[in-house]
Amino acid sequence: MSEAHGPARVSPQRLEAFVRAALEAVGMGASDAATTAEALALADSMGVHTHGTKLLAGYLRRLKGGGYKASGAPRVSRQGPAWALMDGDSALGQVGGAMAMGLAISKARSVGVAYVGLRNTAHIGAAGYYAWMAAREGLFGLVVGNDIPSVAAPGSTGPVLGSNPLAWAAPVPGGDPILLDMATAAVAGGKVYAAWQRGEPIPPTWLIGPDGNPTTDGNLYPHSAALAPMAGHKGYGLGLLAEWLSGVIPGGAITWQVGSWMFDPTDKPSAHNAGFIAMDIASIADPEEYRRGARRLVEEIRAAKSAPGVGRVMLPGEREWDARREAMAGGIPLPSDVVAKLAEASGMTGVPFPG
């Protein structure tokens, strides 16, 4: 890897293998390392670099510091036929999240719909990964999470809620799943960091300054500025929904009880939380009716008249699945800021990066 840490193109398989080896180098078991590596490399292959392998160096620091447990063992603390509460044991969020969605899928196949709340976990990364877990098995998946407050509420001068993610995925017979993964802030905090690090301007719709007014100074975030809520009061309401399903119902940490995985001492757990809902379509809907309805809706949206200069109206996830196919064929084009973080991870573990 060059010292300049410029852009690089890497195959998804080699990137995933690097992440897996780096995690195993700090004591994580092979299965948990593989789950985490799949989630991070998938995000990069879909072009979502803020939630891909750029996170690895930060995860490694916390694993080495003890705030996150390389040998953490998420476990069910209470459960019923259609629900469960899990303790994440401060294992990486991808480990606890995959277990939680796997349990929700299993229960949904028995009773139709199931909810699993996961508390005391780590940063969960891309929530869409877990929703996709359900969709690839033919189920509908919904995932929410919470975080340390970084998002203003309408009228506030500081953060009230986290940039709480909300993701859902639905299988489309004969096509890619519909996949929406969004922050309930106007933008994910990682995009503010990335833009500021690259010297790019911050749009005036992203941040709220300490006076309660919009600001374009990315240097103020997160210490003196908050993210704006997505669509004003609507995003605020969705963020609150995510807080309720991920933190309040499972009895986990909420708002300022959640730690900062980026800025807290590395020996401190972050106590993140997440909620997972799976719906077994085959148990609820007539398979043929579902196939017809899904295809009709997809075809109607794609046939909608597009604005000048726009090829066609797209469904949530289409750009990402197209990027994934291109990455599988020709490699992932990693931006320089991601390459720099991977070089850092390589230096921390001694695992050579295949760039």
Q: Please identify every residue annotated as catalytic.
A: 123
What whole-number distance in Å separates Cα of residue 85 and Cα of residue 251? 9
All residues at 6 or more sequence positions from 289 whose CB lies less than 8 Å from its CB, including other chains: none
All residues at 6 or more sequence positions from 85 whose CB lies less than 8 Å from its CB, including other chains: 76, 77, 78, 79, 116, 117, 119, 250, 251
What whole-number distance in Å separates Cα of residue 45 and Cα of residue 314? 19
Query: DSSP for 107-133?
Result: HHHHHSEEEEEEEEE-----THHHHHH
Longest dimension (CA), the chain: 57
What whole-number distance in Å separates Cα of residue 171 and Cα of residue 141? 9
Query: DSSP for 274-302?
Result: EEEEEE-HHHHS-HHHHHHHHHHHHHHHH
Q: Per the structure block, which two tokens stand in for 96?
A: 């606890």
Residue pair 259/268 in contact (Cβ under 8 Å)? The answer is: yes
Q: Per the structure block, which two tokens stand in for 185?
A: 């802030």
Q: Per the structure block, which two tokens stand in for 292?
A: 């017809």
Q: 116 - beta bridge partners?
A: 84, 276
Sign of the C-alpha dihedral, residues 277, 283, 284, 287? positive
Residue pair 276/130 in contact (Cβ under 8 Å)? The answer is: yes
What whole-number distance in Å separates Cα of residue 137 and Cα of residue 108? 11
SS3 of 38-96: the string is: HHHHHHHHCCCHHHCHHHHHHHHHHHHHCCCCCCCCCEEEEEECCEEEEECCCCCHHHH
